[in-house]
Amino acid sequence: MAKRNRNMEAFSLSFLDCICCGFGAIILLLVLSKIYEPAILEKTENDLKQLIAALQEQLFDIRGDTVEVRRELGTVQLDTSATKMHLQTLQKELSKVQGQFALLNMDDPALNIDEGDLRAARQRLTEEMLNLRPFRRARNDAVGGIPVDSEYIIFVIDTSGSMQAKWTWAEQKLAQVLDVYPKVKGLQIMNDNGSYMFPQYGGAWIPDTPQMRDSIKARMRTWAPFSDSDPSDGIIYAIKTFWAPDKKISIYVFGDEFQGNSMEAVLREIDRVNVEDENGDRRVRIHAIGFPYNFSGTPPQSSQRFAGLMRVLCERNGGTFVALTERVR
Give the tens place of pLDDT for each residue, 239-288.
Answer: 999 999 999 999 999 999 998 888 999 999 999 999 988 888 899 999 99
Residues 90 and 127 in one domain: no
Calculate the alpha carbon distances from 32 to 26, 157, 162 in Å: 10, 91, 86
Of 98, 116, 141, the residue at which a domain comes to its end is 98
| Residues 273 and 319 grouped into a single domain | yes
Output the tens digit of pLDDT for each of the chain's 329 residues: 455 555 555 555 576 777 778 777 777 777 666 555 555 666 677 778 888 888 888 888 888 888 888 888 888 887 787 787 777 777 666 655 555 554 444 444 444 444 555 545 544 444 434 443 333 434 344 444 566 778 999 999 999 999 998 999 999 999 999 988 889 999 999 999 999 999 999 999 999 999 999 999 999 999 999 999 999 999 999 999 999 999 999 999 999 999 888 899 999 999 999 998 888 889 999 999 999 877 666 778 888 899 999 999 999 999 999 988 765 55
Nearest-angstrom CA–CA distance, 248 and 153: 9
- 81 lies in the same domain as 175: no
- 153 - beta bridge partners? 187, 250
Instruction: Write the single-letter amino acid at 246.
Output: D
Burial (CB count <10 Å: 0-12, 13-18, 19+), residue 133: middle
* Same domain, yes or no: 67 and 135: no
CA 152/CA 149 separation, integer angstroms: 9
Residues 53 and 135 reside in one and the same domain: no
Give me the domain span that covers residue 91. 36-98
Domains in the chain, number: 2
Is 138 in the same domain as 79?
A: no
Residues β-bridged to residue 250: 153, 285
Q: Are residues 219 and 120 in the same domain?
A: yes
* Strands 249-255 and 186-191, bridge-based pairing: unpaired
* CATH number reported for the structural domain that contains residue 236 in this entry: 3.40.50.410
Contacts of 320 (CB under 8 A, 6+ apart): 111, 113, 142, 145, 146, 147, 287, 314
